[in-house]
Every structure is written in structure tokens, then in C-alpha cells.
Structure 1
Amino acid sequence: MNERKAIDGKAFGLMAFLCMIWGFQQIAIKAVAYDIAPVLQISLRSGIAAVLVALLMVCRREPLALKDGTWAPGLLIGALFALEFLFLGEGMRYTTASHMAVFLYTAPFFAAIGLHWRLPEEKLSAAQWVGIGIAFVGIIVAFFGPDAHAATKDAPNILLGDFLGLLAGASWGSTTVVIRCTRLSNTSVTKTLLYQLIAAFILLLIAAVVLGQTAIHSTPLAWGSVLFQAIVVSFFTFLAWFWLLHKYLASRLGVFSFMTPLFGIVFGVWLLDEPLDPSFLIGAGCVAMGIVLVSGHDWLRRMVRDAAKA
């Protein structure tokens, strides 16, 4: 087994770049929501990305057959993945992209709690429970602060949209738990992603039809956004992320995910002129602090120990 390395400058730079792209994802969806409904956007991008992942597997001569017994958990994570993006797509109709970027990235907390109950080696430390508590307080402040839900044209019901974003984060966290607790934990990451992308394409396309959200106003910006989401977000960043996991310590990579919602806030305010209220800022800061404590507790503990020895 290859020994994972500690974080170096290359890893930090690539993680910052990935977090910037992930933070920009919601802005790309919101910017063309009037041309292509968010749910339909995500269905189309998932279909394109699924083709790219399948081609990659063929080039690598990875098996596509279902004889390895992963089809049942594969269907489950596919359904959860589709549910995550159904909540995200619908939530984007009611709230701002910056709000969605924060609430979607509550996923590590739901995953950590689920794994705590399912796997002995994933038991949460006291510091991680503190991080979850801080994030919970942040969510309450962001939801119910006195100036948190002033409706605008592009965000007509922020409370509903934020709640759907929280459900999207819970669905994403549940996907992580299923992957870790089933045969998928020993399956190639490309096959796992393919299950998710195919299910998202089919189920979200059905949802778009049922919800009457199949209209497309064909513009260069709209199709550019969909292609960006498919090729860059759903394909390239996935490959880069798993390359990092192969080379570096996962616990130390995870701590940097707090940058994603922060990038989402910056892009939302800068590019979409979204309002920025104090309640949401305080809540987002608590969520980011919670991510650092939950995902990076081992890294932080080593830092404190090394500082004490110095």
C-alpha cells in the first residue's frame, strides 16, 4: 500500500482550486436558471459526465459488469445522489447561490454522525462533537436571524430554499455513509461515480418532466454553464479529488473543504449581486469552523502536540 503524504504546497494549491470550482457550481446553476431549470441542468450535466466516466473506464479497461454484487448499494447511492440534487435544484429556485453553497456543505456533519453510529473506527471525538455543535448553532442563526430572510426577485422564499439546501446536505452525507458501509467501499471510485451519475440523469429527468421544468431557452451562456458543470465539476474535479486522496492523507485534505462555502459566498455576492446579511455571515462562519473541527480534528491535534513539543 502506498503511504499517504502530509499536505504540501501542491496539494494545498490544488485543494484551493477545487474548492473554488465547487463554490462556483451554485453560481453556474443560478446564473442560467431562467434559461434551463436547475433540476434539468443537473440531469443533463449528469448524463454528459456519465458518458465521460464510462469512456474513461473503457480506456482503463475497468469492468462495467454488475457481477461484483454492488448493484443494490449502487442503486441506493444513485437514488440518494439524485435526491441531493433534486433538493439542490429546487432550493436554487427559492434561495441565493451563496446560501445554497453553505447549507449543501453541511454534508460532512451528517456523514460524521451516521458513520459514528455505524462504524466503530469512525467514533467522533469530543472536539468533533464540539464542531457539530458550533455548526448547529450557525445553522440556527442563519435560518432564524432577524435579517436572514428578506425576499428578493431571485430568492422569493429563502427559508424554504435554505431548508432544501440542508436536506441536500443530509442526502449527500447519507451517500457517504452508504458507500463506507457497503461493498462500494472496495469498489473503484469510477464505478461508484457512474452509479450516481446514471441515476441522477434518469431520475432528475423524470422529475423535470413531472414538475413541468423541461423548457429550454437555448443560449450560449446556458449551454456553456451545463458543459462547465459536466466536464469541469462532475468529471475533472472528481478525478483530481481522488488523485489527491490517493497521494495525501484524507483527514488533512478534508479540513480544507471549509473554503468551498466561503468561495460560494464571495462568488454569489460578486457575480450575482446577492445580498449579504449579518445573520447569514455569522452562521456561515460557524459552519466553516465546524467543518474544520469535524474534518480536521486529527490534523489540529497533531499541530497542538507538535507546538507543545517545540
Structure 2
Amino acid sequence: MNFRDFLLLFGVCLVWGLNIVLTRWVVADMNIPPLFFAAVRFAGVALFLIPFLRPVPDKLFTLLLISVMIGSLNFALLFMGLRSAEASAVAVTGQLGVPISTLMSMAFLGETIGWRRGLGIMLSFAGVVLIAFDPSSFQISVGLMFVVGSAFIGSFGGILMKKMPPLTGLQVQAWVGLFSFAPLFAVSFLWERGQVDAYIHGGWPVWLASLFAIAGVSIFGHGAFYTLIKKYDVSMLSPLTLMTPIWGVVFGVALLNEPVSPRLLMGAVIALAGVFMIAVRQNTRLPEAALGRKAGAGDS
């Protein structure tokens, strides 16, 4: 990889990691209802990317199901998790999309794995369990369980994507945005309260965070990433995307003053080591499995 493209990937991972922290700040510190914030983001993505809705792809109903998986359900659970779990822990836990996608490619696509990827899967889950489970109180973080659920659903959407004809990254973003914002708004107004007032009174910092998620993450981040996917093998890109959770931890500590406990550090090292072991081994049936949700709607 040439240095310019590495800098581009570095910037993409930085944007993704920062967005996890900004979303945590919006839904937790600013008390913006998470489903409403997700709906606003997808509405903005659909609006910005209207030109990429043409031509209308084949298998539109399959694309609708994919959008539900990698869009509305995935992000609803992720944002609900961010409301109660620290951004640094979410940044690491979200990487479970990689081993989960690998397991699903085994179950649904007939992929076989060797002992190295098998060990990587076990390490990934063990590291997340160490982060999520507090042995002193025998409690599991509910917020991180939402994030694990998000990883499962997003990974299943990635499997369904194999049934679609090839689409560009921005085409996927446009259709996911179009199919996702209305269900999220509907559920938000049924379940959440005071969301419009909270969003309006959040002022320009919350609106700027929304614009960053739309333009910085969904348009720049994923557009640039799909450009890199076309130029380089997934086996080269996927280990480098582990910069994303590292940035998530760094920004969580620096911007939100989140504590860095020995349990978090140990769990992160174990989990990311497992993800790395999976990412560097070729998946013949679903190469995108090594990228987790990054191949769908993205990291955050």
C-alpha cells in the first residue's frame, strides 16, 4: 500500500473511532434519544445521496431486508448500547462483527476454517466477555449486550449481501439510508419521548455531530473505504482497520474522561489479537467477513 492510501485509511479509521465517541456523547451526555438520533442520521444520508439511488438495483426486496439488518436494527441496538456503555468498551466489543461474520460464513456459505482462525474466534469472544462481565458484582453490561446483538444482526446482513448484484459503497449507503430512517422514526415516536425538543435544544454541537456522522462517516469514510477495497486485498486492509477501536479508546479517554481499567486493557488486547488472527487468514466464501460491519453500513 502506498503512503497516500495508508494516510487515507488512517483518516477513515480516525473518523470511525471519533464517531463512536461523539455518538456516545450525544445519546448519553446530551440525552438525545438513540433511536431518534439514528433516524436523523439515516434521513440525512438518504438526502445527501439521492443521486446514488439510480439506477434502481435488482432484488429490491432483498436490499430492503439487508437495510433492516445493517441499517435500522443494527444501529438502533448500537446506539442504545452506547447510551449505557462506555465508548471505549463499545469500540472493542463492536469488533465481534469479524468473528461473527466468519461463523456465519461457515454456517450459511460452507466456509471452512483452520485452527488459527478458530483460536482467533475464541480469543475475540473471551476478550469481550472479560470486558463485559464484572466479577466483583457478577453483572454483565447490558449496554455491551446491545452492541453484541448489533454485531450479530449486522453480520447476518453481510451474508444477505452476497445475494445482491455488485453495488458501489455509496449506492449501499443511499439505499440503506432510504429504507432505514422511516422505521426508526416510527419506533422512536412510539417508544421515546421528547426527542424533537431534546434535539432542537441540543443546539449546534448536536447538529454538528449529526453532520459529521452523515458527511464524515457515511459519505467520506465509507466512500473512501470502498475505493481502497477496490485497490487492495481484504487481507491487507482488514488488520489495518483495527486502528478504529484503538482510536475509539483514545478518544473515549481524551474527550469523555472514560477510565481505562486493567480489565478493559486486558480484554481489548485479547479480543483484538483474536480479530487480527481472523483478519489475516483468507476467507474464500466471504472475504468481507474479515472487515465485520465495515463492509455494510459501517462501524458506527
TM-score interval, normalised by the smaller of the two chains: 0.7 to 0.9
Shift of 1:295: 1.2
Partner of 2:257: 273
Query: Within 5 A, what are the aligned runs for 1:98-177?
Result: 98-120=88-110, 122-146=111-135, 159-177=141-159
CA-to-partner distance for each residue in 1:228-276, whole Å, 9 max, x for gaps?
1111111111110110011111221111122111110110011001122
Scaled by the length of structure 2, the TM-score of the pair is: 0.85
Normalising by the residue count of structure 1, what TM-score does the alignment of the two structures yield? 0.83
Change (3 A) 1:50 1:148: farther
Q: Distance in 1 between matches of 2:149 and 2:123?
A: 19
Whether 2:192 is the aligned partner of 1:212: answer yes
Contact 1:146 1:279 in 2 (8 A): no
TM-fit CA distance, 1:169:
1.3
After TM superposition, give the deviation of residue 129 of structure 1 in Å.
Answer: 1.1
Q: Which runs of 4+ in 1 moved over 4 A?
A: none
Computing the radius of gyration from Cα coordinates, the structure with the larger value is 1
Q: Name the amino acid aligned to 2:157.
A: T
Taking structure 1 as reference, are residues 32 and 148 closer, same or farther at Cα in structure 2, changes over 3 Å only? farther
Name 2:287's counterpart in structure 1: none
1:13 is matched with 7
Contact in 2 for aligned 1:27/1:268 (Cα 8 Å)? yes
Q: Distance in 2 between matches of 1:40 and 1:148?
A: 32
Question: Does residue 21 of structure 2 align to residue 37 of structure 1?
Answer: no
CA distance in 2, matches of 1:289, 1:203: 37
Once residues 108 and 48 of structure 1 are traced to their aligned partners in structure 2, the CA distance between those partners, rounded to angstroms, is 28
1:84: how far off?
Answer: 0.8
1:260 corresponds in structure 2 to: 244
**Structure-2 separation of matches of 1:169 and 1:102:** 11
Q: Take 1:147 and 1:290, find their aligned partners in 2: how far apart are those partners?
A: 25
**Letter matched to residue 134 of structure 1:** L
Higher mean C-alpha displacement, 222-231 vs 89-98: 89-98
1:230 maps to: 214
Amino acid corresponding to residue 145 of structure 2 in structure 1? F
| 1:275-290 equivalence runs, <5 A | 275-290=259-274
Are the equivalent residues in 1 in contact too, given 2:45–2:218 (CA < 8 A)? yes
Q: CA RMSD in A?
A: 2.2
1:147 touches 1:279 (CA, 8 Å); kept in 2?
Answer: no
Matching residue's letter, 2:130:
V
Q: 1:89 aligns with which of 79, 88, 94?
A: 79
Q: Who is 2:277 aligned against?
A: 293
Aligned to 2:172: 192
CA distance in 1, matches of 2:160, 2:270: 27
**Counterpart-to-counterpart distance in 1, 2:137 and 2:55:** 49
Q: What whole-Å deviation, never above 9, does each CA across 1:102-128 have from its counterpart, x for those lacking one?
A: 1122111111111122224x4323211
Q: Secondary structure at the residue paired with 1:219?
A: helix
Q: CA deviation at 1:63?
A: 0.7
Q: Which ranges of structure 1 fall in alignment gaps of 5 or more residues? A: 1-6, 150-156, 300-310
Contact 1:141 1:279 in 2 (8 A): yes
- Work out the CA distance in 2 between the residues paired with 1:192 and 1:40: 21
Q: Which moved more, 1:131-140 or 1:24-33?
A: 24-33
The one of 230, 241, 253 aligned to 2:225 = 241
2:160 maps to which of 157, 174, 178 = 178
Q: Any idea what SS the aligned residue of 1:186 has?
A: coil
Q: Distance in 1 between matches of 2:272 and 2:213?
A: 24
CA contact (8 A) 2:101 2:155 kept: yes
Q: Deviations over 1:179-222 (max 9, x none)?
A: 12x1x143344333223212221121122112224232241101
Instruction: Tell me how far apart the structure 2 counterparts of residues 204 and 14 of structure 1 sit (CA, whole Å).
Output: 32
User: In structure 2, do the counterparts of structure 1 residues 124 and 12 end up closer, same or farther at CA, with 3 Å as the change threshold?
Assistant: farther
- Partners in 2 of 1:116 and 1:274 — Cα distance? 37
Aligned 8 A contact 1:148 1:277 in 2: no
Distance 1:203 1:130, change over 3 A: same
SS of equivalent to 1:162: helix
Work out the number of aligned pairs and report it: 276
**Mapped partners of 2:89, 2:140: distance in 1:** 8
